[in-house]
């Protein structure tokens, strides 16, 4: 039996679905069992468990062959100290791994997590890796995922209304766009059949590196919007825009730091691109299946 934390989220749900489809027993953990109901209908045992409660997580982890450990959510826009939130979640997961006796963990981390500083929210994932990897007797595989393709979905409204996609990234910098469903599937596969020992790191770099300029071309083609352009926002404007949307100073600082780290190549992929570090879904397929239908959908409300 495998335990999937964050089963109500994107990568966790995909990990649970992969394992269920492959015939494994899955215990799906999220804050609300009700929100995991569809996994229950597919055969998962669902546990409504507060991820910040180490005792509850310990019970959920008991008897597992392995667990998928993820700090959720991606980020909390108005949080005054998101790093402290990440540390609390990491401490809870680590305590539960220690107390439950689980020996195999696949954890979600990020490209750039090698660095202790200068990477925005990825710093919390660096600390998560360090903390959990010190538990004696645990084999931990850290999936250092690239830039989530789903981040592009945040641009749909501006693309439709202003024919523009703006972000702080240099238009030609190569980005390892990876889909959350590919990450989750790989997490499930590694739990079921992986043979790593001790602490290992595996970057998930997507199908290929793609620049923002190329992505916007793919989107323009898919939604037949010839006038769609990419605009690189300055870090100061990006920060101000986030603040105007109610994002806390702490989170806006972190997000701007991501832009800086990526543009300077401080955050970059470091493992060779191979079959193991690559994932199947191309940016074209993601845009066609996930971005374009939402772009075309009539606006709600
Ligand atoms: N974005 C990127 O490019 C990128 C790249 C590499 C790594 N990452 C990492 O990926 C992880 C996110 O993974 P994911 O995409 O699978 O998660 P996710 O889909 O963002 O998680 C969403 C879930 O988080 C839970 N949640 C929402 N608000 C919460 C709160 N205030 N407190 C606790 N839980 C809350 C909810 O689940 P329940 O209600 O069911 O509990 C919700 O369904 C983060 O650690 C992020 O740093 C992101």
DSSP 155-194: GHHHHHHHSEEEESS-TTS-B-EE-HHHHHHHHHHHHHH-
Q: How confident is the model at residue 300 (pLDDT cuts 50, 70, 90)?
A: low
- pLDDT single digits (tens) 155-192: 999 999 999 999 999 999 999 999 999 999 999 999 99
**pTM score:** 0.97
Task: List the end-to-end C-alpha distance of the chain, in Å, as a whole number.
Answer: 42
Residues 206/183, Cβ–Cβ less than 8 Å? no
- pLDDT > 90? residue 298: no
Please tell me the distance from the alpha carbon of residue 157 to that of residue 144, in angstroms, as a whole number. 29
Å from CA of 72 to ligand 1 middle? 3
Nearest CA to ligand 1 atom 39: 31
Å from CA of 119 to ligand 1 middle? 18
Q: Is 34 exposed, middle or buried (0-12, 13-18, 19+ CB in 10 A)?
A: exposed
- pLDDT > 60? residue 301: no
- pLDDT single digits (tens) 224-272: 998 999 999 999 999 999 999 999 999 999 999 999 999 999 999 999 9
* CATH 3.40.50.720 at 2-148+179-204, yes or no: yes
89 pocket-lining for ligand 1 (C-beta < 6 Å):
no
Ligand 1 pocket test, candidate residues 4, 5, 6, most atoms within 8 A of CB? 6
Of all helices (H) and strands (E), which one includes residue 76? none
- Region 112-134: mean pLDDT is 98
Q: For residue 81, what pLDDT is reported? A: 98
Q: What percent of the chain has pLDDT over 90?
A: 98
Q: For residue 201, what pLDDT is reported? A: 98
Å from CA of 194 to ligand 1 middle? 24
Mean pLDDT of the residues in the chain: 97
Q: How confident is the model at residue 77 (pLDDT cuts 50, 70, 90)?
A: very high
> Tokens 């200068």 correspond to what residue?
118
73 pocket-lining for ligand 1 (C-beta < 6 Å):
yes
Going from N- to C-terminal start, the domains of the chain cover 2-148+179-204
- pLDDT > 80? residue 67: yes
Please tell me the distance from the alpha carbon of residue 140 to that of residue 94, in angstroms, as a whole number. 11
Ligand 1 atom with minimal separation from the 121 CA: 47
Please tell me the distance from the alpha carbon of residue 279 to that of residue 14, in angstroms, as a whole number. 14
Q: For residue 64, what pLDDT is reported? A: 98
Å from CA of 75 to ligand 1 middle? 7
Å from CA of 6 to ligand 1 middle? 7
Please tell me the distance from the alpha carbon of residue 253 to that of residue 246, in angstroms, as a whole number. 13
CB within 8 Å of 11: residues ≥ 6 apart? 68, 70, 108, 145, 180, 183, 184, 187
DSSP 289: I
């Amino acid at each position: 039996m495998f335990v999937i934390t964050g089963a109500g989220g994107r990568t966790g749900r995909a990990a649970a679905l992969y394992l269920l489809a492959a015939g494994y027993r899955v215990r799906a953990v999220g804050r609300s069992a009700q929100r995991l109901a569809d996994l229950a209908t597919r055969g998962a045992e669902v546990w409504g468990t507060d991820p910040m409660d180490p005792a509850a997580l310990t019970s959920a982890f008991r008897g597992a062959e392995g667990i998928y450990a993820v700090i959720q959510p991606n980020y909390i826009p108005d949080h005054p100290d998101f790093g402290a939130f990440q540390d609390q979640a990491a401490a809870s997961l680590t305590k539960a791994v220690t107390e439950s006796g689980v020996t195999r963990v696949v954890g979600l981390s990020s490209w750039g997590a090698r660095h202790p500083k200068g990477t925005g929210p990825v710093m919390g994932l660096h600390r998560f890796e360090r903390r959990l990897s010190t538990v004696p007797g645990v084999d931990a595989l850290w999936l250092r995922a690239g830039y989530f393709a789903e981040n592009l979905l945040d641009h749909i409204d501006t693309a439709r209304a202003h024919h523009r996609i703006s972000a702080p990234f240099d238009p030609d910098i190569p980005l390892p766009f990876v889909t959350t469903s590919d990450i989750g599937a790989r997490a499930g596969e590694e739990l079921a059949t992986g043979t790593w020992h001790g602490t290992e790191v595996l970057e998930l770099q997507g199908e290929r590196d793609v620049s923002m300029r190329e992505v916007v071309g793919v989107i323009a083609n898919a939604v037949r919007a010839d006038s769609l352009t990419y605009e690189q926002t300055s870090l100061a404007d990006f920060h101000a825009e986030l603040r105007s949307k109610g994002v806390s100073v702490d989170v806006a600082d972190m997000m701007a730091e991501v832009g800086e780290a990526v543009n300077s190549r401080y955050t970059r992929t470091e493992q060779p691109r191979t079959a193991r570090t690559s994932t199947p879904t191309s940016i074209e397929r993601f845009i066609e299946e996930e971005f374009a239908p939402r772009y075309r959908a009539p606006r709600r409300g």
